[in-house]
Amino acid sequence: MPKKTSKKEKTIDKTKLPDAYIAGAGTVVEESITDTLEKNYMPYAMSVIVSRAFPEIDGFKPSHRKILYTMYKMGLLNGARTKSANIVGQTMKLNPHGDQAIYETMVRLARGNETLLHPYVDSKGNFGKAYSRDMSFAASRYTEAKLAPICAELFNDIDKDTVDFVPNYDNEMLEPTLLPAAFPSILVNANVGIGVSMASSVCSFNLAEICETTIALMKDPDHNALDTLKGPDFSGGGLMLYDEDTLNEVYRTGRGSIKLRAKYEYDKKQNSIIVTEIPATTTVEAIIEKIIAQVKAGKLREVSYVRDDTDLSGLTITIDLKKNTDPEKVMQKLFRLTPLQDAYSCNFNILVHGYPKVMGVYEILDEWIKFRVDCVRRRTNFDIKKKKERLHLLEGLKKILLDIDKAVKIVRETEEEAEVVPNLMIGFGIDEIQAEYVAEIKLRHLNREYILKRTKDVDDLREEIAALEEIAGSDRKIKSVISKELKDIVKKYGQPRKTQFFYASDIAEADEEEDIPDFPCTIFMTDSGYFKKILPNSLRMASEHKFKEGDFMAQEIETTNKSDLLFFTTGANCYKTKVSAFTETKASAMGDFIPAKLSFDEGEVPAAMVNTTDYSGFMIFVYAGGKVAKVPLNAYETKTNRKKLTGALSLKDKLVAAIHIKDNELIMLRSSNNRALIFDTALLLPKTTKSTIGVSVMSLKGKAQLVSAEVVSAETAEGLKKFCCKTIPSSGSAAKDLPDPDQMTI
C-alpha cells in the first residue's frame, strides 16, 4: 500500500533558498492530455501551417518570399548574375533554417529546374530537373542566379507602402509580409505544401488565361471562368483530359482530380515510341521502373526495351517495340499500367489573413482582387502624399519668385545661420519646411529662370493630385488600373499553352482481357476453402494432393485462365474474381486459402465455387427447410469490377447446397429422416430476386431437415424411379437402400 501523504503543507523559509529558486519548480502537476496537446502541439501545428507550409494570396510561402526579396535588395533584378552561395548567405539574414534548405527552395524557383510555368529565378548551371528523381542539382558554389524579368511585376511599388513590413527574426532589418504581385501569381505557378493535419496542392494556369479571367470577373462577377480559363497549364506540358464537369468542380470548390497523359510520337523507322512530355505528378525514373516491372510480369509483352534518352535538348523516353506491334494499342496499355497517365489531385488550400482556407478559382481570384485593390489604393495614397509634399515646397518657392532680391538680402543680413530659416518664414509668410527648402537652394539657382521652371508644374501637380484622389476613392477606377496593368503583363510575359487537351471521345480504351494470357488449367477447392490452380502437365506428373488434417477435395473443374470465378458463401455473399488472379501451383502444395485471399467477412466459409465465361445457366440454392431457389447466373454479372456482391442468396434458412447447372438437371435431395427425392429443375421457375428462398420442393415432417443435394444423371434416375416425382412439393420415399447421407459427396 502506498504511504498516505500528509495534508499539511510544509512551510518553506524562502530567505534560506538560493537566488535561482523558482516557485513551484520540480512539482509534478496532473494535467489532461488534451490540455497538454493544446498548449504544446497546437502552437507548433499553427506555426508550420502559417509560417512554412502554405502559400499566401501573393502566391508565395515565407521561404520563397524571403529569397526573392533578398535577391531584390541585392540588386539582382537588373544586375548580372551572382553565385548562388552569395544569395543563400544573404537570405540567412531573413531565413535562419540552414543554407541547404534555402538553396533547395531557390532551385525550385529557377528556370533550369523547370518546375514553374513562369520561373522567378534566371539560373545558370545545373539546377536539376523537376521531371527527374535522380538528377541532382549542383552545389551553390558552382551555380549562378539573378531575378527573372517577371519579378519586376512582383516588386513594383514595394517601396510605396503597398504592403506591410515586419522585423526579421533578430530585429536587424525589415521584410515584407506579402509581395505586391501585379498578377495572380498564386494561380500562375504551382505550389505544393504539407502542413499538420492538412495539405495544399495548387496547380498552375496559363498567365494570359488567368489575367483575362481576372479582368472578366472584375467587370462581371457572374462571368463563367470556363469561357476564358481552359484548364491547368503545367510547365512539363503533356495532355489533359478536358472534362468541363471536373474543371467546374475545381473552379468552384478548389478540389478535384485532373487526368494527365504523356505526349508521344511514333518513330516508324526505329519501331519505337518516343515520349517527350510526361505528367507533372511523376518522374522519368518512376515511369521506366514501372514499365520494366510490367514487362517482367508479362503484361507488356510488346515492349522489347526502354531507356532514358534525356539530354540537353530535353526529356526523352524511348520505348522499343517488337515487330508487328500496334503502337496505339501499346500506348493504351501503357496509359493504363504505368504513370504515363496519372491524376493531379487539386487541393487549393491557401492562407488568407493568417488562416488556411480551401477555395476554388473564383474565390481565390476574388481574394486576390481585394488584395490588389488594397495595394493599388495604398500606392495611390502614397503618391498623393508625395505630390502634396512637392506641391507644398513649390508653393513656397513661388512666393520667393515675387522678390528674389529680398530673399538674398534676408540670408545675407542674417548674422546667425540658425536664424536664416525663421527670418525667411517671417519675411515671406511661409512655413518651416518651405523655408528650409528655399534656404537649401544653391546660389547659382537663385535666378528667375530656374524658379519659373520649378514653379510652372504647380498647376499640373494639382491636377494629378485631384486625379489620384479620385482613383483612391473609387474601387471601380482602381480595378480599371489593375485591368490595364494585367493587359500590359500579358503583352510582356504571355506565352502559348504548354499543356494541350485530349477528350474522352478520342480514347479507344484497350480491353483489359487482352492482357491476360489464356491456357487450359484445372482448379480445385477443398471442403475447408483451400484453392489450387494446376496446369495439365503438372497435373499429369502429380502425386497425391496435400490436404489440411481432416480436409478433403470438394470440387474439381477443368477450365481456362481467362474464366471468371464466383464463390458463394454461408454469409449470403458472392465474391467474384478470375482464375488468372491465382498463381499456378502443384498438387503437393496446400494452395491459397480463399477466405483470406478474397477478404471474406469474419466467420464466412465458401459454400460453392462456380466457374463461367458467359454467365449462362442457373444457380440452384437448396435450403434445410425443403425449399429450393432457381436464380439465373447472369444475375451475378456486373459491368463494373465489383469484387463482392451482397444479398447473393437467402439468409432466412440454412444453406445446404449451391449448385451451378448449365441447363435443367435432375437433382436428388436427402433428408435427415432418411427420405429421398429426385426432381427436375424444369419444375422451378427462375427468380429475378437473388435473395429469394424459393419454393417448397420436399415436404418434411417433424424436425426433419434436408442434409444433402446432388445432381444425378438420367441413367441413375432411371434406376431410382421410386424417388422421382413429377410434381412438387413431394414427401419423397424411404431411402433405406441408399448410402448414408454423410457418405454422399455433393
Q: Which structural domains are found in the chain, ordered by start?
A: 54-181 (3.90.199.10), 263-339 (3.30.1360.40), 378-492 (1.10.268.10), 514-743 (2.120.10.90)
Share of the chain above pLDDT 70, in %: 94
Q: What is the distance between the alpha carbons of residues 583 and 581, in angstroms, rounded to a whole number?
A: 7
**What mean pLDDT do residues 13-29 have?**
63
Residue 215 has pLDDT above 80, yes or no: yes
In contact, 85 and 168? CB cutoff 8 Å: no
**For every residue of 677-696, which 3-state class applies, written as one string?**
EEEEHHHCCCCCCCCCCCEE
Mean of per-residue pLDDT scores for the chain: 88
- What local confidence, expressed as pLDDT, does residue 738 receive? 67
> Which of 7-11, 250-254, 330-334, 720-724 is least confident?
7-11
Going by DSSP bridges, is the β-strand pair 500-502/239-241 parallel, antiparallel, or unpaired? parallel
> Which of 88-92, 325-329, 403-407 is least confident?
403-407
Instruction: Read off the pLDDT of residues 710-745 as tens digits, 9 standing for 90 and up.
Output: 998 888 888 888 888 888 888 888 877 665 544 443
Give residue 297's Cα distance to chain centre.
28
Q: Within 10 Å of residue 319's Cβ, how many Cβ atoms?
A: 26
- What local confidence, expressed as pLDDT, does residue 735 receive? 78
- What local confidence, expressed as pLDDT, does residue 513 receive? 56
CB within 8 Å of 33: residues ≥ 6 apart: none
CB within 8 Å of 245: residues ≥ 6 apart: none
Q: What is the distance between the alpha carbons of residues 82 and 80, in angstroms, rounded to a whole number?
A: 7
Q: What is the distance between the alpha carbons of residues 571 and 339, in angstroms, rounded to a whole number?
A: 39
pTM beyond 0.75, yes or no: no
DSSP assignment string, 136-170: PPPPTTT-EEEE-GGGHHHHTTTTTT-S-EEE-TT
Q: How confident is the model at residue 25 (pLDDT cuts 50, 70, 90)?
A: low
Residue 6 has pLDDT above 80, yes or no: no
In contact, 454 and 394? CB cutoff 8 Å: yes
Q: How confident is the model at residue 644 (pLDDT cuts 50, 70, 90)?
A: confident
Q: How confident is the model at residue 514 (pLDDT cuts 50, 70, 90)?
A: low
In contact, 208 and 117? CB cutoff 8 Å: no
- What local confidence, expressed as pLDDT, does residue 471 receive? 93
**For every residue of 350-370, which 3-state class applies, written as one string?**
EEECCEEEECCHHHHHHHHHH
Most confidently predicted of 407-416, 508-517, 618-627: 618-627
Q: What is the distance between the alpha carbons of residues 424 and 531, in angstroms, rounded to a whole number?
A: 109
Q: What is the distance between the alpha carbons of residues 319 and 340, in angstroms, rounded to a whole number?
A: 12
Instruction: Read off the pLDDT of residues 674-717 as tens digits, 9 standing for 90 and up.
Output: 888 899 998 998 988 888 999 999 988 888 898 989 998 888 88
Residue 306 has pLDDT above 90, yes or no: yes
- What local confidence, expressed as pLDDT, does residue 484 receive? 96
In contact, 263 and 239? CB cutoff 8 Å: yes
- What local confidence, expressed as pLDDT, does residue 739 receive? 56
- What local confidence, expressed as pLDDT, does residue 515 receive? 63
> Which of 178-187, 209-218, 343-352, 450-459 is least confident?
450-459
Instruction: Read off the pLDDT of residues 79-116 as tens digits, 9 standing for 90 and up.
Output: 899 999 999 999 999 988 889 999 999 999 999 999 99
Q: What is the distance between the alpha carbons of residues 53 and 61, in angstroms, rounded to a whole number?
A: 7
Q: CA end-to-end span of the chain, whole Å? A: 67
Share of the chain above pLDDT 90, in %: 53
Residue 153 has pLDDT above 80, yes or no: yes
- What local confidence, expressed as pLDDT, does residue 511 receive? 55
> Which of 15-29, 210-224, 300-314, 592-606 is least confident?
15-29
Residue 409 has pLDDT above 80, yes or no: yes
- What local confidence, expressed as pLDDT, does residue 287 receive? 96
- What local confidence, expressed as pLDDT, does residue 16 receive? 58
Instruction: Read off the pLDDT of residues 410-446 as tens digits, 9 standing for 90 and up.
Output: 888 888 888 888 988 988 888 899 888 888 888 777 7
**What mean pLDDT do residues 377-397 have?**
92
Kindly list the catalytic residues: 142
- What local confidence, expressed as pLDDT, does residue 438 receive? 84
- What local confidence, expressed as pLDDT, does residue 90 receive? 95
Q: What is the distance between the alpha carbons of residues 487 and 498, in angstroms, rounded to a whole number?
A: 20
**What mean pLDDT do residues 41-59 have?**
87
**For every residue of 171-236, which 3-state class applies, written as one string?**
CCCEEECCCCCCCCHHHHCCEEEECCCCEEEECCECHHHHHHHHHHHHHCCCCCHHHCCCCECCCC
In contact, 575 and 598? CB cutoff 8 Å: yes
